């Protein structure tokens, strides 16, 4: 039974890191594409927009898989080993809040973007990442230092 606990913890931590990693990978790609998608640099914004769309589609598949594994392994860990106490519900609430804030912002501010766009419009991407990375930090701080 101790082996299952160790495997579940490994899956949980690894998938959380993969989920976090997909966010960072997207941030780095968007920073790299910024001059092309804002018209600051020569190039076809349509080509780079298509590249961005393809990347986001693939990144979403990885992030969704990692997210589902984090949730499933977390629920199994709570149900089988740690119990259902306040700390577990706080973590669940923070993850739900992160997803709601991120998806809400994507629907409201990111989806309407067309390229080329102004640098101020492109900055909406950075606000999305500030929301997401702040929530990751809050989840980690709460998990490791407050609970």
Separation between Cα atoms, residue 51 and residue 53, nearest integer Å: 5
52 pLDDT tier (thresholds 50, 70, 90): very high
pLDDT at 5: 96
State mean pLDDT over 16-28: 96
Q: Which residues neighbour 65 within 8 Å (Cβ) at sequence distance 6 or greater?
A: 15
pLDDT at 21: 96
What is the span of the domain harbouring residue 141? 2-146
pLDDT at 43: 79
Q: How far is CA 70 from CA 12, 65, 77, 95, 115, in A?
A: 5, 9, 10, 10, 34
Task: Count the residues in the chain.
Answer: 147
Question: What is the CB neighbour count within 10 angstroms for residue 96?
Answer: 11
State mean pLDDT over 49-58: 96
Residue ranges of alpha helices (H) inside 38-109 are 45-77, 86-105
pLDDT at 147: 65
Q: How many domains does the chain have?
A: 1
pLDDT at 143: 86
Residue 79: pLDDT over 80: yes
């Amino acid at each position: 039974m101790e082996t299952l606990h160790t495997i579940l913890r490994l899956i949980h931590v690894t998938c959380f890191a993969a989920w976090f990693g997909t966010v960072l990978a997207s941030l780095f790609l968007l920073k790299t594409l910024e001059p092309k998608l804002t018209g600051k640099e020569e190039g076809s914004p349509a080509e780079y927009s298509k590249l961005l769309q393809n990347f986001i589609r693939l990144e979403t598949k990885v992030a969704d898989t990692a997210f589902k594994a984090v949730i499933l392994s977390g629920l199994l860990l709570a149900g089988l080993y740690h119990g259902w106490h306040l700390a577990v519900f706080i973590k669940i609430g923070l993850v739900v809040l992160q997803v709601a804030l991120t998806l809400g912002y994507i629907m409201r501010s990111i989806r309407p973007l067309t390229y080329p766009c102004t640098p101020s419009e492109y900055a909406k991407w950075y606000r999305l990442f500030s929301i997401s990375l702040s929530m990751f930090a809050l989840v980690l701080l709460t998990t490791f230092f407050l609970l």
